[in-house]
């Protein structure tokens, strides 16, 4: 049950305005309450939700999102634009929606956010390690090229010496020759 709940939650987390958020209608479905009830509770306690905890989507943002998760049934258009809750807003929400189901869901939601944060941190570590490896390979390429050039020079010197030795041995000798 716990894994299924966290999986369901992870699929409901969106990135809007460069923030990971959950929308009011998804939260209402997860908490098994009406969206209107959730919004009323938030409006009654709006002082708990500053702008960095909660914001209302613009019509353009909502239309863009709606195209991502499919169309609504004919005539099923929301009357009001949805609220987007940041992670801090979700923590605040747990204080105003207090049914046992809501508490269990908030725990699953927090775990999903923590897991997403860990994935992002791990990906950053992997990216940093790949960059470090790339830099090392670049340094090694320079060193290997230097070694290769040195070996080529040695081989060229050896070839030149062998060539000179061959010419030296084939030359016509001058001076006294003893017939053997």
Q: Are 64 and 4 in contact (CB under 8 A)?
A: no
How many Cβ atoms from other residues are within 10 Å of residue 95's Cβ?
A: 11
**Residues contacting 49, CB < 8 A, separation 6+:** 42, 89, 92
Average pLDDT, the chain: 79
**Residues contacting 74, CB < 8 A, separation 6+:** none
Give the DSSP H/E element, type plus range, for residue 114. helix 100-170
134-178 pLDDT tens trace: 777 777 777 878 887 888 777 777 677 777 777 778 877 777 777
Q: Residues, the chain, total?
A: 180
Name, of 25-29, 42-46, 61-65, 115-119, the range with top average pLDDT. 42-46
Half-sphere exposure of 91 (CA within 13 A, CB side): 9
Please tell me the pTM assigned to this model: 0.57
| Rounded Cα distance, 29 and 104, in Å | 13
Least confident of 51-55, 71-75, 176-180: 71-75
Domains in the chain, CATH or no CATH each: 2-122 (3.10.260)
pLDDT of 72 above 80: no
pLDDT of 1 above 50: no
- The pair phi, psi for residue 22, each rounded to 5°, is -125, 145
84-140 pLDDT tens trace: 999 888 888 878 877 777 777 778 788 888 888 888 787 777 777 878 877 777 777
| Rounded Cα distance, 132 and 14, in Å | 31
9-36 pLDDT tens trace: 778 888 889 888 989 988 888 888 888 8
């Amino acid at each position: 049950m716990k894994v299924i709940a966290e999986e369901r939650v992870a699929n409901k987390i969106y990135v809007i305005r460069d923030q990971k958020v959950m929308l009011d209608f998804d939260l209402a479905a997860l908490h098994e309450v009406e969206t209107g009830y959730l919004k009323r509770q938030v409006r009654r306690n709006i002082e708990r939700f500053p702008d960095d905890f909660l914001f209302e989507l613009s019509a353009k943002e909502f239309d863009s999102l709606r195209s991502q998760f499919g169309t609504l049934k004919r005539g099923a258009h929301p009357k009001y634009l949805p609220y987007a809750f940041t992670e801090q807003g979700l923590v605040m929400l747990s204080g105003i929606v207090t049914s046992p189901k809501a508490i269990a869901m908030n725990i699953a939601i927090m775990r999903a956010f923590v897991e997403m944060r860990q994935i992002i941190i791990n990906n950053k570590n992997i990216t940093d390690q790949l960059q470090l490896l790339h830099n090392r390979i670049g340094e090694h390429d320079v060193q290997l090229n230097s070694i290769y050039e040195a070996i080529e020079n040695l081989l060229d010197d050896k070839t030149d010496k062998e060539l000179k030795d061959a010419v030296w041995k084939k030359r016509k000798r001058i001076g006294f020759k003893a017939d053997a």
